Amino acid sequence: MKTLIKNVLIIPMTERDLSLQGDIGIDGTRIAFVGSADKSFVPDTVLDGTGMIAMPSLVNAHTHLSMELMRNYKDTCANLQDWLGEIFPIEDKLTASDIRIVSDLGIAELIKGGTTTFADMYFFAHETGKAVVESGVRACLGLTLFGDVEDSRRRVQERGPLMEAVAAQSNGRIRVDIAPHAIYTCSTATYRYAHDYAKANKTAMHTHLSETDKEVQDSISRFNRTPGDYLASIGCFDDIRTYLAHCVHSTDAELSRFTAYDIGIVHNPTSNCKLASGIAPIAKIRQAGIPLALGTDGASSNNNLNLIEEMHIASLLCTVSTGNTMALTPYDTVRMATAGGAEVLGLDDRIGTLEAGKDADLILVDTKKSHMTPLNNPFSALVFSAQASDVDTVFCQGRLLMQNRRLTTIEETEAMRKTELCWKDILTRA
Amino acid sequence: MKTLIKNVLIIPMTERDLSLQGDIGIDGTRIAFVGSADKSFVPDTVLDGTGMIAMPSLVNAHTHLSMELMRNYKDTCANLQDWLGEIFPIEDKLTASDIRIVSDLGIAELIKGGTTTFADMYFFAHETGKAVVESGVRACLGLTLFGDVEDSRRRVQERGPLMEAVAAQSNGRIRVDIAPHAIYTCSTATYRYAHDYAKANKTAMHTHLSETDKEVQDSISRFNRTPGDYLASIGCFDDIRTYLAHCVHSTDAELSRFTAYDIGIVHNPTSNCKLASGIAPIAKIRQAGIPLALGTDGASSNNNLNLIEEMHIASLLCTVSTGNTMALTPYDTVRMATAGGAEVLGLDDRIGTLEAGKDADLILVDTKKSHMTPLNNPFSALVFSAQASDVDTVFCQGRLLMQNRRLTTIEETEAMRKTELCWKDILTRA
């Protein structure tokens, strides 16, 4: 199957081109060319890209997809700890079946907002994996750990094979990562176990870090170290890829130390504001040269999975908190949500930019809207003017997942209906 | 003409009801009932509100509508002063014809985002007024003043009658306000003249105030007073209604003093972040009891006219800057964009809430979307989950301006086409 996207404004997010007007060819799962068509390329399908921006699909590098269920629920808790106190009892009631239902809804929302890759950390991840396989998106699914190492071992033994089985059906679109939740919910032995698992299985570790000042103060009390220094001191970052969600309160010394490891940071500005956690020092993170990605966190602390909106909020917060309008340019912001996300997840050999040979994970954003006119700078338009609903067309690994705002692999109305019923049922469970 | 909206989730923004499920009747320009239909009400048209939220139309209490032209242009200036240095030379080239063209685009964008009332400050305001009359929205149009009093008198003599003439055709939907631009562009005599104009004409004064720290420091240097104290000292607030855009750097003493006057403040969080001006102390403004509205500022420092997005950003900034998740609840945020806006503009006798007898300025927001499921709290959903594109239906003064996302009074595609041509032409003018 060969698809030609004609006459489109391309922002490839490569170092070579800022933007170019031209065509894009998709051959099977891959990008065949970007810019000018090869004469030998005979498409089966032609899409008119006039008035559209073609760009890499967005990468949501930290979320808890199934927390869609708790969207707009318990929204005025004082802080992260209080909020988790409300959420954890609900989570205890969730079943594998719930997760399968809500995963369809979450993926529908992701695709409609232009995201085709997400890094998830939640329960019953193999059920989310089934939804990933069927819907055609891409995910790094966290094998999520809590508590002490016996519990972690049990989780790995029970869940690991289920997750690997679903990953095997994904044509390489699912990677199973190890995901110890946080230093305040996992023991030192669990983190060491997670590290060893990642090293042995050649995969990545995904964890929350330094989300709140309380976490940092408690870490200093318990371990005599800030959270990043604590994990470094137990060898947790050695010889593996790690991606750290939040780092709102990471110190300059920690950021400097992180550069010695294969560490990336995922910025979740909306969630950090909403839970009064703070504003992550992303200008410093960028200055330190640490790869930086963007995430929404779960929909229950956001309250959506909208990376277009997340770019806007990230940009505004960086500018106002540094007083420097150039600390994160519109280009930098788009990069954080595309190529930066791919880098942080270690998927940059396959996605994150538009280049011949890479997997065809790309979106078309419709600029023929009153709020996008005149367009002027396409990067500014994407960061400051666009809405998720401007995403018109979505491809992942060459497969068309949305065209003209209509999903091709998920029954959106059905996913909404089932999720509503499921949530009503959960609220009645003892 | 009688319209019945059936089976809708109503958030009237009155003190009486938080939300209720029911019907709304519109009779001519007014709301006939909210909640339960009177049997005597025989509608000409019935709209099904299932899965929709009915709420007052949004009020954009500070914008420069025609700056749509400069959207995503010169986006990385260091601060307000540098940016104005780029923008003012463009503005010198604008003609009445340009303003008429771009006003249609701006109003199209406003309606598509659920806004039917805007307070504007710009050049050739009578041309914007013509677009207001034709499109059916509502506006407080600023008779904008710059420089010394001779220039201001000339502007009032030239522009005032043109603006009053267009207001006379608006069925009460246009009010002409006096709008001295800012203390750094207008003389003391101009502010005194503006005050006297407002008092004599029983209208309001609209001005920028304390947008940047530089403005405050310059005011202290020039007048030995902070900006609010300076305007108070020259009698500018006496016996008139004033609405102040920004107040990012207003002091506690100023806020306390403002309560002695008929003063409202318009919060423009996106613009204030984008230009690195700062975060306005809206928790303190609310504590002081000063009426608070929401604005987008011009699209060139935002870069859209999206009040749904503005609510989200206002909420996040207030929470993260105060560390208090209750400083501005989702309800408070929606109120700022509806009833609060009406109060600040002095239009609360006619709009801002859904009540029998008020003008029928109301919108339906479609919640049957993946990113709004489950809905849970409708106020949280509007502030944290919604997009402007979820606004489905818009009424102003009883007239249907949008249904199922289609504008009824503006040719949107034509407005976009004309604006693009106009902007290209402006860039070529010597």
The tens digit of pLDDT for each residue in A262-288 reads 999 999 999 999 999 999 999 999 999
SS3 A295: coil
Q: Quick check: pTM over 0.90?
A: yes
Q: What does the pLDDT average to over A41-56?
A: 98
Which chain B residue has the Cα nearest residue A75? B380
**Chain A within 8 Å of B324 (Cβ-Cβ)?**
yes
Rounded to an integer, the average pLDDT of A116-138 is 98
- pLDDT of A38 reads 79
So what's the pLDDT on residue A16? 81
Q: What is the spatial distance between Cα B180 and Cα A314, in angstroms, rounded to a whole number? A: 33
**CB < 8 Å from A in window 256-275 of B:** 269-270, 272-275
How much is the average pLDDT of A51-63? 98
Per-residue pLDDT at B191 = 98
State which amino acid sits at residue B371: H
β-strand partners of A53: A9, A365
- From CA B66, how far away is CA B419, in angstroms rounded? 10
Query: 3-class DSSP state for residue A146?
Result: coil
Model confidence band, residue A24 (pLDDT cutoffs 50, 70, 90):
very high
Residues in chain B, pLDDT under 50: none
Task: Identify all chain A residues contacting B316, using CB atoms and an 8 Å cutoff.
Answer: 269-270, 273-274, 313
The residue assigned the tokens 């860039």 is B427
Given pLDDT bands bounded at 50, 70 and 90, which one contains residue A217? very high
Contacts of B84 (CB under 8 A, 6+ apart): none
Q: pLDDT confidence of A17, banded at 50, 70, 90?
A: confident
Residue A373: which of B77, B313, B419 has the nearest Cβ?
Answer: B419
What distance in Å separates the CA atoms of residue A223 and residue B115, rounded to the nearest whole number? 53
Angle at B243 (CA atoms; ends B254, B165), nearest 5 degrees? 155
Report how far Cα B14 is from the mean position of its chain's Cα atoms: 20
Q: Are strands B20-27 and B2-10 parallel, antiparallel or unpaired?
A: antiparallel
pLDDT at B43: 97
Q: Do A380 and B72 lie within an 8 Å CB cutoff?
A: yes
Element (DSSP H or E) covering residue A130: helix A125-135
Using CA atoms, how far apart are residues A134 and A126, in angstroms rounded to an integer? 12
Of B77, B325, B374, the CB nearest to A77: B325
* CB within 8 Å of B249: residues ≥ 6 apart: B210, B211, B212, B213, B215, B216, B278
A377 → chain B, closest CA residue:
B72
Which residues lie below 8 Å from residue B381, measured CB to CB, with a gap of 6+? A71, A72, A303, B53, B367, B372, B375
C-alpha B278/C-alpha B269 separation (Å) is 8
Q: What residues does each domain of chain A span?
A: 2-56+351-407, 58-345
Q: What is the pLDDT of residue A84?
A: 86
- Say what the pLDDT of residue B383 is: 98
In Å, what is the CA distance from A289 to each residue of A59, A230, A231? 19, 21, 20
Flag if A326 and B76 touch (Cβ within 8 Å). yes
B401 contacts B362 by C-beta, under 8 angstroms: no
Whether residues B320 and A375 touch (CB distance < 8 A) is answered with: no
Quote the distance between the C-alpha of residue B280 and its chain's center: 17
B392 to each of A349, B113, B163, B403, how far by Cα in Å? 42, 9, 32, 6
> What distance in Å separates the CA atoms of residue A245 and residue A180, rounded to the nearest whole number?
12
Q: Is A374 within 8 Å of B113 when comparing Cβ atoms?
A: no
Angle, CA A378 vertex, CA A372 and CA A383 arms, to 5°? 75
Taking CA–CA distances from A77, the nearest residue in chain B reads B325
**B2-56+351-407 adopts what CATH topology?**
Urease, subunit C; domain 1 (2.30.40)
Residue A321: strand, helix, or coil: helix
Residue A366 CA to residue B295 CA, distance in Å, equals 26
> Which pLDDT score is estimated for A237?
98
The token pair at B148 is 């010394």
**CA distance, residue B230 to nearest chain A CA (Å):** 26
In chain B, residues with a C-beta closer than 8 Å to the C-beta of A322 are: 276
With H, G, I as helix, E, B as strand and everything else as coil, classify residue A291. coil
Instruction: State yes or no: cis peptide before A378, omega within 30 of 0.
Output: no
Given a cut of 80, whether residue A330 has pLDDT beyond it is yes
| CA–CA distance, B237 with B191 (Å, rounded to integer) | 10
Name the CATH superfamily housing domain B58-345: Metal-dependent hydrolases (3.20.20.140)
Q: Find all residues with CB under 8 Å of B196, minimum gap 6, and list them.
A: none
What is the predicted pLDDT for the residue at A78?
Answer: 82
